[in-house]
Structure 1
Amino acid sequence: MAAGLLALAGCTSVGPTDNPVARKLTWFSYLNGDDLRMRCGKDGTDRFRLVFNADYNRHVRTYDVVGDPERGGAAVEAHVIEATDLARITPADPFSAARGRKATLELSAAQYASFIGRLREDGAFDPPPNGLRLPSNGFYWLINGCRSGQWFFTAYPYPSSRFTDAGFPDLLRSIDPTGVAFPGLPEPEDAPRTLPSSGEVADGGVFFEIQVGRDGQGHYGLVGPTAPFGALMLSALPAD
């Protein structure tokens, strides 16, 4: 199992993917925005990544937004990964049930400006709660990216006023190109705040916990190296 956990977090993300194997191998790096950090400030392009975790084993959706410095708009690539739907497995593509749904759209300059303004009002460019721990069976948003050559990283845990007061989820719902509805939220008192104990796990799957903090250079992100595996606190059960 230890070797499997090393593999799970041992590769660097190169961006969004609908390949379920690559997604598992690079997930922590993708959450940390490692690929965005490497390009930040080098080409004058703003990039944003928004990830909604609604129990990792049941529903995850991601939005990668790339600004167009010449025309003022942006390109959006959205992915929705839900619990495996066995009815969608095809012999030609045995991974089809785990690929999720991918869709793209273009934002006009006005839409893009509204998106940036909404993130600013919601504190996306402000520091996140330091030391925040987020279990994979919980509900939260992670947002990171590069804006005007500056790296940013923040989080919105549920339940919290930071989560419920944020307006960007409604904006994303209004432009979402996937056609997949957002899942409902549990009551605040029922929302998971910690990983389930081994005796509480009924369906198997992968369980892990991430922690938000600063690195040695003062930049916010996930605590510990994300590729290769480092100080991320990970406890996992067989995925399939």
Structure 2
Amino acid sequence: MAASLLALAGCTSAGPTDNPAARKLTWFSYLNGDDLRTSCGKDGTDRFRLIFNADYNRHVRTYDVVGDPERGGAAVEAHVIEATDLARITPADPFSAARGRKATLQLSAAQYDSFIGRLREDGAFDPPPHGLRLRSNGFYWLISGCRSGQWFFTAFPYPSNRFIDAGFPDLLRGIDPTGAAFAAPPEPEEAPRDLPSSGQSADGGVVFELQAGPHGLAGRTGPFGALLLSTLPEN
């Protein structure tokens, strides 16, 4: 598991990718929006990244939204990464089962305005709850980006009213171009409260914990950055 975690910490993200090796090497940097932060305010373009974690080893989906400052509207690139599906393996691409699904969509100016309004109403431009820790086997949304030249970062953990009352997931369901169903969270009382034990993760999956701050993930997420993979605090 340690080797897998080191791989996840390896490099700085350059954006979304369906290459499974590159995805592992840049995952924490991608979660932290390092590439979006670097470009923020330099070209007048608004960029948003929404990531839904429904147990990292089972179901993850991402949406990268890039606004068009001249014509209005925005381009959306969506990825859905699920537990390896052997039925998707093809002889021409042995990594096809791990690539996930990728699809793109163009939002009209009206759709884009509705998207921004929905994020604002849900508090997506507000900082995350103080001291928030997110477990890889849990359910949560991470949202980051650059809006009007200003960086923002937030999280919607489950179970919480912030997660349950948010309206942007329904908006995304309505426009999602991948055709993949959203993973449903468990009942609140059944939501994971601890990381799985070594025996429970013997299937080769990786486990980790993130700590979200007002401006991003705590700790370094770039090349060989220190990961927040310490033992969970007692509940």
Question: What's the TM-score once normalised by structure 1's chain length?
Answer: 0.92
Q: How far apart, CA to CA, are the structure 1 residues paired with 2:130 and 2:224?
A: 21
- Opposite residue 201 of structure 1, the aligned amino acid is S
Equivalent position to 1:226, from 190, 213, 221: 221
Q: How far apart, CA to CA, are the structure 2 residues paired with 1:98 and 1:204?
A: 14
Query: Residue deviations 1:86-111, cap 9 Å, x none?
Result: 11111211110000000001000000
Asked if the contact 2:219/2:227 (under 8 Å) is kept, the reply is yes
What residue in structure 2 maps to residue 217 of structure 1? Answer: none
Q: How far apart, CA to CA, are the structure 2 residues paired with 1:20 and 1:135?
A: 21
What residue in structure 2 maps to residue 211 of structure 1? Answer: 211
Unaligned runs of 5+ in 2: 231-235
Unaligned runs of 5+ in 1: 215-219, 236-240
Report the count of equivalent residues: 230
SS of the residue aligned with 2:18?
A: coil
Q: How far apart, CA to CA, are the structure 2 residues paired with 1:203 and 1:172?
A: 31
- Opposite residue 101 of structure 2, the aligned amino acid is R
State how 1:165-180 maps to structure 2 within 5 Å.
165-180=165-180
What residue in structure 2 maps to residue 110 of structure 1? Answer: 110
Asked if the contact 2:55/2:136 (under 8 Å) is kept, the reply is yes
Query: Residue deviations 1:134-171, cap 9 Å, x none?
Result: 01100000000000000000000000000000000000
Please tell me whether residue 69 in structure 1 is matched to residue 69 in structure 2: yes
Q: 1:203, CA displacement in angstroms? A: 3.0
Asked if the contact 2:4/2:206 (under 8 Å) is kept, the reply is no
Runs of 4+ in 1 over 6 A off after TM superposition: none
Question: What's the TM-score once normalised by structure 2's chain length?
Answer: 0.94
Query: Residue deviations 1:178-234, cap 9 Å, x none?
Result: 0001112101111113211224335331111111125xxxxx100100012333223
Query: Residue deviations 1:53-83, cap 9 Å, x none?
Result: 0000000000000000011100000000010
What residue in structure 2 maps to residue 238 of structure 1? Answer: none
Q: How far apart, CA to CA, are the structure 2 residues paired with 1:204 and 1:7?
A: 14
